[in-house]
């Protein structure tokens, strides 16, 4: 079984939490499935879950280089130079990243409001980009945008390989395969 979840902001990518915070168990009712990869609690969007260990490994293991695409809102008006740096690869404290696909984007009409909302500062603009990676380091997108001078404000994964959000509402699940 392969399931897509649009993970809401603030939900942990695990099924239990001793502190009572929201988890996958609040949204996914199918027994015996596990997340194929992670999204941090402050990130939103597509999370794939499966009961097939080999499929989980293929989807999550960076050695298989499944492209993952993110819609990213950043602090400031992102420059062409910053996008070019992301495309070349960015030096991080754990080594340089692989080159990424990075393009300007606009806030899509289909995007849901975040709760809580992203902070608004009248004198500092925000901008959007689409970023596609083929590796999966801890908080990589956030570290990459910060490294080029544009900290991430909102991060939404919209695609993993051939699987996309495709209108799936936050907190909702879609069975992709049995």
Q: Counting beta carbons within 10 angstroms of the beta carbon of residue 26, is it exposed (0 to 12), middle (13 to 18) or buried (19 or more)?
A: middle
Catalytic residue among 26, 40, 51, 52: 40
40 is catalytic: yes
Residues contacting 132, CB < 8 A, separation 6+: 67, 68, 69, 70, 100, 101, 102, 159
Give the active site residues. Answer: 40
């Amino acid at each position: 079984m392969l399931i897509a979840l649009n993970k809401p902001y603030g939900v942990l990518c695990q099924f239990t939490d001793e502190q009572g915070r929201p988890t996958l168990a609040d949204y996914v009712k199918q027994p015996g499935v596990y997340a194929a990869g992670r999204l941090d609690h402050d990130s939103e969007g597509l999370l794939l879950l499966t009961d097939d260990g080999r499929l989980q490994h293929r989807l999550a293991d960076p050695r298989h280089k499944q492209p993952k695409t993110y819609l990213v809102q950043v602090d400031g008006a992102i420059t062409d130079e910053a996008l070019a740096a992301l495309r070349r690869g960015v030096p991080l404290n754990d080594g340089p990243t692989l080159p990424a696909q990075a393009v300007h984007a606009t806030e899509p009409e289909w995007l849901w409001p975040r709760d809580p909302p992203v902070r608004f500062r009248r004198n500092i603009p925000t901008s959007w980009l689409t970023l596609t990676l083929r590796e999966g380091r801890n908080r990589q997108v956030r570290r990459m945008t910060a490294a080029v001078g544009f900290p991430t404000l909102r991060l939404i994964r919209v695609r993993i390989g051939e699987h996309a959000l495709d209108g799936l509402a936050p907190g909702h699940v879609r069975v992709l395969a049995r």
